[in-house]
Amino acid sequence: MGVADALNGENNRPDYIEEDDWYDILAKAHSAIILCLGDKVLREVARETSAAGVWLKLDSLYMTKSLANRLYLKKKLYSLKMDPGMSVDDHSDEFNKIIIGLENIDVTVEDEDQAILFLSSLPSNYEHFLETLMYGRESLSMEEVMAALNTRELKKKHEEKDDGAEGLFARGKGDQKSAYKKGNQRPKFKGKKVFKCFVCGSEKHFKRDCPEWKKRKGNDYRNHNRRQGSNHGDHEESSEGYESSDVLMVISDESKDGWVMDSGGSYHMTPHKEYFQDLKEEDLGTVKLGDHRPCQVAGHGSVVLKLQNGSRFTLENVRYIPSLKRNLLSLGTLERDGFNVSLKEGKARVIKGSMIVLTGTRKQNNIYILNGNVEKSDVVLITEEGNKQALLWHKRLGHISSQGLIELNKKKVLGNLVSCEVQFCEHCIMGKHKKVKFNQGKHTTKGILDYIHSDLWGPARTESMGGARYFLSLIDDYSRRVWVFMLKHKNEAFARFKEWRILVENQTERKIKKLRTDNGLEFCNSEFNDFCKKHGIGRHLTIPGTPQQNGLAERMNRTLLERLRCMLDGAGMPKKFWAEAVSTTAFLINRSPSRVIENKTPMEIWVGTQPSYQDLRVFGSFCYAHISQGKLEPRAVKCIFLGYSENVKGYRVWRMDESRPKVFVSRNVVFQEHILYGQVLGSNKGKEVLPEVESFDAQLNETESCSTSNAKQESELEPLSYSDAISSVERVKWIKAMEEEMESLEKNDTWDIVDLPAGQKPVACKWLYKIKEGVNTDDPPRYKARLVAKGFTQQAGIDYKEVYSPVVKHSSIRIILSLTAKSLYGLKQSPRQWYKRFDEFVVSNGFTRSEYDSCVYFREYNSQDYLYLFLYVDDMLLACKEQEEINATKRMLMQEFDMKELGKAKKILGMEIKRDMENSYMSKAPYANAVGSLMYLLVCTRPDLRYAVSLVSRYISNPERMHWAAVKWILRYIAGTNSKGLLFGSTGGAASQVEGFVDSDFAKDLDKGRSLTGYMFKVEDSLVSWKAQLQPVVALSTTEAEYIALTEAMKEALWLKRFVSELGIHLLKTVVHCDSQGAVLLSKNVVFHDKTKHILVKLFWIREVISSNEVTVEKIGTQDNPADMFTKVLPGPKFKFCVDSAVVL
């Protein structure tokens, strides 16, 4: 207890420990830790003199929770393999070390995943063990795996203790005595003994006196360090894994099919089942080979040998050992049966009386091989011929399965085919190979919402009627109820999950406990992870590359798609109705019994009552829906049935009128289920009726058919026309949104009521609908409606003359952020076309419009204290250091305009503003996968992408594979740095100055020979402006290229200086740093020469700016110029320096 307290530090002595004992405990703790460390680790902690210091040092070195450490441990875990010579216990220890290391950095690997990973790390000789262990199981735990392995190892050790027959026995020097004790004596040969050297074959000396042997032994000794696993024996280690301590025989490739004449074998042995004339299969125990490896004897029988002289010899009682490597002819067995064996002059003879029965030849490796081969039985020959015929028909029939051959052979259409068994076809392996089936995981959930499975499917090649290309599926593990949501983009998955969570938790009064998904970015992002942590939802992720671990969701998606295809094909409907079919499929799955839930239906478990089936109809069938029209108009319209609506008791039908095709919900429908879509429009497929408004998926979401719940999808939440909005199940919310918009337009006097001039047509208008997320994460979505004019119907010069509406520059926003980074608040007002009125109002109330950005207004309220106002169409941003000034300005604006308070600013011009306790970050969320998306990102908040994106953007009109590869590398870089953004405030930079850096790359454009300009500017050490662009003209020298770049940078410096000064900020200086000595001297030197005559105007202009003291130019070293990242490819350390200098964090 006391020793552990020493880790808290010397000054944290517990009260129950005396002061005299405390120092002894500190010393003991320090010694105890040091004694447990290896030499390498000791060097790392050598300077630490206390136990607490050593412990903290070890924690910082080996317990870090960094991404690099997590990546290292996970990579080590996934790639771990058991070495062939390693024991299971040692391998288990290595595996557990990695698991404990991950747990120490808060990374938990589920028990089932541990078991799967451990089994995957075992070598191939455990394959039979794996099949036996996993047979019939639905789940697997690490404890079960280790118990089975321990049982196998104990059984293996017990079998090795048994004395079985031996073959290919390796008689090493240390084993000879024990071998003889076991009765394995040399065979006794009849007749005169002939002793000869085993090395050179001479009869004049033994092996120990052989000169050749002594020479080899000397070479072996010198090469000992280069030969692994060899003793002082005659030969190198066998490639088949036999030990090399004076091994009796080493087999070469040429003898694999021959019979090795073995003097140490107890029986004749062969691994070839087809060699036997009359094999009797039975368990005859084990035979032990020279490396003490036991092999199972699976039977015995007779084998006929066909000798070189044409005679035949029958081997009786031959053992069948499938795992054996070679055919072994036991000389000891032949001697026992009355044969004499003679080895002389490289020839082996087996003699019976005066007749030579068998002969053998000594090969180069001193192994005697029988002269002859096996004569195969008639049954074997017939079978082989039948297999060849089966393989031929297999190929003729396009690699048909064996079962298919059997069925055709039953019909007697393949001739006299004896066998239908296809032994092996490599083409089938290459073309049909499948992954090993994963066993089904089992979750013992005890209630609904305890465990949720989710997956995203898509993109679909064909867009749905509402423009969706993906669908999100959510499955409750307990009830197996499924919800599906149609998505236009993958990044909508998180919004749909939030809406669904609120819905189901409110309906059931239960909480979601665990969520299992794959590692897709739509699920594994900071926003999704933070949301789950906030609401206590545990995350279970699959191992990368193993979708089988999310088997329930994957299988559900497969079921949805299979039934979708059946429904579309059965009704003869085009693929654009796939979203309708998926939604209906989900609706029906929730009303279908399942064996997993004891043949109950998901809805029965979810609501406790059996659902009704009386209202079900055939998908895609023809029907008549009631409508209310004029008194003399028809009371019904022809429709196609598309599914069900849950919140509204009715059917979703597609109106087939060519004038107004659309989807709506009706409860008064007459069906003709025997007539389907394909029969109605089959003759008109080439000219399908396309809907005027694509709102189909939108209305589906209200039904169980789309989400199988009350949850909604994007296409349903955002109607595309007024008729869609008022027919939607959310019609009350949309009507309220439209009423608010009309009130706002009327209050702001947006229009005047006038008579229509003769001969003129009014400009029509339309409604736009948008669903916006709540200000806070848990807030419900906001329904917005906008009334807009159809501007595309206007004629220039008649309906309008000017259409320009000023928009605030990104640089202006970043400058204000660098000055007032902590106080940002947003306002939102309703109408769109109002800039002129707004400008007149704010100017009349004391604001000054910037001369350099017409959408920036400022007002001085104290000496040198300003309030700033930005305008972007109908978005406003207020920035000020005093909250009271902001509140007063808001009250003034709200008295004049209809505005809504949005609280602290979170987004402006697509840029997201994040706050923490110390700094405010402005970062742009990454876009999808195209250069156009990257362009906006680099313009807003990612200057580090400027050079790379400028390169790939040059080929946007005609890209090739290498250009697309480059774009993907940029996206990978963004994925790894998606939290980066610009830092404003609290950077400790130079106060009140505009500082710029400029660089150029001469003749960078190989096609046109133009140079590249790059510059960046910082205000109060916060980056506010940057640029990387090809120069408009061809420079004739590096100095000229640098001078052209310097000219562009000076223009930007002047604009920034004057804009900042106009805002009331006193600047100490404005400086531009250039790393070209020639350009810097040229900008200050009045000497003129012919080489600079063509850039005379630029010379005079820059010198005039410098002489006026508005901007100064200073030389900077190339290694210190951060603008290099805009003009060239940089090594890692230099690129990091440039990014850090730009304050991209």
Angle at 885 (CA atoms; ends 879, 891), nearest 5 degrees: 100
d(CA 1098, CA 1096): 6
The CA distance from 359 to 629, in Å, is: 107
Between strands 355-362 and 514-517, the pairing is unpaired
Q: Where are the alpha helices (DSSP H) in 941-1076?
A: 946-953, 961-976, 1038-1062
Neighbours of 481 (CB within 10 A): 25
Pair 815, 1059: CB distance under 8 Å: yes
**Under 8 Å CB-to-CB from 492, ≥6 apart: which residues?**
714
Helix (H) or strand (E) holding 482: strand 482-487
Cα-Cα-Cα-Cα torsion 261, 266, 268, 270, nearest 10 degrees, comes to: -100
Q: Sheet holding 514-517: strands in order across?
A: 482-487, 470-476, 451-457, 514-517, 538-541
Q: What is the DSSP string of 258-323?
A: SEEEESS-SS-EES-GGGBSS-EE----EEEETTS-EEE--EEEEEEEEETTS-EEEEEEEEE-TT
HSE of 568, CA atoms in CB hemisphere, 13 A: 18
Distance between CA atoms of 286 and 271, rounded to whole angstroms?
14
Which of 113, 262, 944, 1124 is catalytic? The answer is 262
**Do the Cβ atoms of 935 and 953 come closer than 8 Å?**
yes
Dig out the tokens for 364 from the structure.
Answer: 């180069």
CA 523 – CA 806 distance, rounded (Å): 39
Alpha-carbon span 649 to 614, nearest angstrom: 13
d(CA 959, CA 876) in angstroms, rounded, equals 39
Q: Which amino acid is at 902?
A: L
CA distance 1020 to 988: 8
Establish whether 262 is a catalytic residue. Answer: yes
450, β-bridge pairs: none
How many CB atoms are located within 10 Å of the residue 671 CB? 16
Contacts for 546 with CB less than 8 Å, ≥ 6 apart: 438
Cα–Cα distance between 502 and 773 in angstroms, integer?
Answer: 14
Cα–Cα distance between 315 and 357 in angstroms, integer?
12
**Degrees to nearest 5, angle at CA 66 with 141 and 106:** 35
Give the pairing of strands 259-262 and 327-330. parallel
Residue 805: burial class (beta carbons within 10 Å; 0-12, 13-18, 19+): middle
Question: What single-letter amino acid sits at 294?
Answer: P
In angstroms, what CA-CA distances link 897 with 750, 842, 892? Answer: 11, 11, 9
Q: In this structure, are residues 582 and 560 in contact, taking their beta carbons and an 8 Å threshold?
A: yes
Residue 628: CB partners within 8 Å, gap ≥ 6?
A: 635
Instruction: Give the CA count within 13 Å in the CB-facing half-sphere of 676.
Output: 13
Residue 806's contacts (CB-CB under 8 Å, 6 or more residues apart) are 835, 854, 855, 871
Question: What is the set of active-site residues?
Answer: 262
